[in-house]
Amino acid sequence: MFKFLKESKKEFQHVVRPTNKETKKYFSIVSISIIVLTLFLYIVWTVFSWGLFALKDAINPPKIQQTNTSSNTPTDLKLWTWSVWTTDLSGSTSVTPTVATWAAK
């Protein structure tokens, strides 16, 4: 075990640390490589996605339905929200659903 530790210590003395110039150079190379590969993968994935959507539309085209928009317009817009109300003096709260309604113009 001690022999291994002595050899390890000797090996650490042979390690050459990079200079500041080399460190900046390697950092630039790695950063540019990451950016280029990220852009490449984004472009490949986007083209692949467009191709799949085009293939889907070619196999199963979307159905277009003509509708009368005047009969399909809602008269009111209802939105469910959650309101928190304190129910007693001890500080416990209860959560109750409420409906907010807006009249259509």
Could you tell me if residue 14 is inside a domain? no
Instruction: List, in sequence order, the alpha helices (H) in 1-105.
Output: 2-14, 20-59, 69-72
Whole-angstrom distance, CA of residue 92 vs CA of residue 99 = 23
Which pLDDT score is estimated for 52? 93
Could you tell me if residue 47 is inside a domain? yes
Per-residue pLDDT for the chain (105 aa), expressed as one digit of tens each?
888 998 988 888 888 889 999 999 999 999 999 999 999 999 999 999 999 999 988 888 777 666 655 555 556 666 666 555 555 666 666 656 665 665 555
Could you tell me if residue 12 is inside a domain? no
Which pLDDT score is estimated for 63? 76
Could you tell me if residue 68 is inside a domain? no
Residues spanned by the domain of 25: 20-62+74-103
Question: How many domains does one find in the chain?
Answer: 1
Query: For residues 83 and 96, is the Cβ–Cβ distance under 8 A?
Result: yes
Q: pTM score, two decimals? A: 0.47
Could you tell me if residue 95 is inside a domain? yes
Could you tell me if residue 88 is inside a domain? yes
| Pick from 80, 86, 73, 84: nearest CA to 98 | 80
Q: What is the DSSP letter of 63?
A: P
Which pLDDT score is estimated for 13? 86
Which pLDDT score is estimated for 9? 87
